[in-house]
Homo-oligomer: A and B are copies of this chain.
């Protein structure tokens, strides 16, 4: 019982993504995921609470974002702290584009998974707001900067995953952060 399975967590996640891609999320059972990974259902539930969670174990992403933004130079303005955080996150994702595209297609096909994605983004935003407050950014600027940062991440992530997009994630995120600055400064209008 409970013998150690090397990288069980990663194998289960990979097996789940394969099966969700091949058969659809709803048509796949936990037993099938465990079987594909050469593991048991019992092992599955030691690592993931349900069928959704295996696609959303983003504590790594959140930890990285918090560490990078906490470690940014104290003199940086909040918008530049966001840039540091987005750079760190982009580096983590850079060699995972094929995997991320497959995952995104599974999520796009299921409303329940889209809900979970929104919840994870909201939790990422709350963690980022906490970091900004600890850096001395007052409210409501801290909460608003965090929400705007997650907006950049969300729109940039979708763009980076587009089939036609070949630039690296860091480049895309910097472009989006530039767009946010341009829009906030009154850009993209047709008037004088």
Assembly CA distance A137 to B191 (angstroms):
12
On A, residues with C-beta under 8 Å from B are 74-80, 114-115, 118-119, 122, 136-138, 140-141, 143-145, 147-148, 150-152, 154-156, 158-159, 175-176, 179-192
Of the candidates B114, B138, B180, which one forms a contact with A188 in the assembled complex, judged by CB atoms under 8 Å apart? B138
- The interface residues of chain A, by DSSP majority, are classed as helix
Of the candidates B138, B176, B191, which one forms a contact with A144 in the assembled complex, judged by CB atoms under 8 Å apart? B176
Q: Would A151 and B155 be within 8 Å (CB), given that A181-B185, A189-B80, A191-B77 are in contact? A: no
Q: Would A183 and B78 be within 8 Å (CB), given that A144-B151, A147-B151, A176-B144 are in contact? A: yes
Assembly CA distance A75 to B192 (angstroms):
8
**Contact across chains for A141 and B183 when beta carbons are under 8 A apart:** yes
User: Which B residues touch A147, using CB under 8 A?
Assistant: 151, 154-155
Assembly CA distance A150 to B121 (angstroms):
14
User: Which B residues touch A74, using CB under 8 A?
Assistant: 190-191
Top 4 closest pairs, chain A to chain B, by CB? A77-B189, A75-B191, A184-B184, A147-B151
- Which of A175, A186, A188, A191 neighbours the largest number of chain B CB atoms within 10 Å of its CB? A188
**Contact across chains for A188 and B152 when beta carbons are under 8 A apart:** no
Shortest distance between the CB of A41 and any CB in chain B (Å): 25
Assembly CA distance A141 to B190 (angstroms):
14
User: Which B residues touch A79, using CB under 8 A?
Assistant: 183-186
